[in-house]
Amino acid sequence: MTSHHLLLIIMLPLALARLQAASDTDVTILEAHHVVIEDQQVTIIAEALTTVIVVSADHDPSFRGTTFLGRASSRVTVKSDRATFIIQRSVPEFHDPEGTHARMREQVQKIADEAWAMTVQSATELKDGKPVGRIGYYHPEIVIKDNLIIAITGRGYLYPQKK
């Protein structure tokens, strides 16, 4: 893998987060009950609607329907009456043992820091009772009980409300 491929792998999710890119799990908060802001995570207890991409088959190049990472998939929306949503800070993993891409590493870290600052600002607004955008998760762990989502944990971002 070349350093350019590595850069693309690192930068793409962070750049997409800045643009409110499509994540694989989106949470729309209907009513927040509790918000805790920490250094490396934000915890929100809320009533919400969550749209999740679920995979329904193995990779099949001949499949012509909706796919996610090359596998047949569907989007489903699941209700949460009272769930815990833990948004973990995304920490860029940058493999550069020779230190030849220090500037690139700084740029990636700056984007990650800005995205996390956006999350903290949005969480502060939510805590103050103001409306926010959605939580966008990327490959989270989801717990479902009695056909309701009761918890989601993973790397993601809390976006501000669109103006």
Mean pLDDT of the chain: 84
Describe the crossing of helices 102-127 and 3-18 by its angle, rounded to 10 degrees: 20
pLDDT, position 98: 77
Exposure on the CB side of residue 74, measured as CA atoms within 13 A: 5
Range name among 23-27, 61-65, 77-81, 156-160 with the lowest pLDDT average: 61-65
pLDDT in tens, 44-60: 999 999 999 887 777 77
**Are 78 and 65 within 8 A, CB to CB?**
no
Residue 10 has pLDDT above 80, yes or no: no
Q: With b meaning 16 or more CB within 10 Å and e meaning fewer, what string describes 92-103?
A: eebeeeeeebee
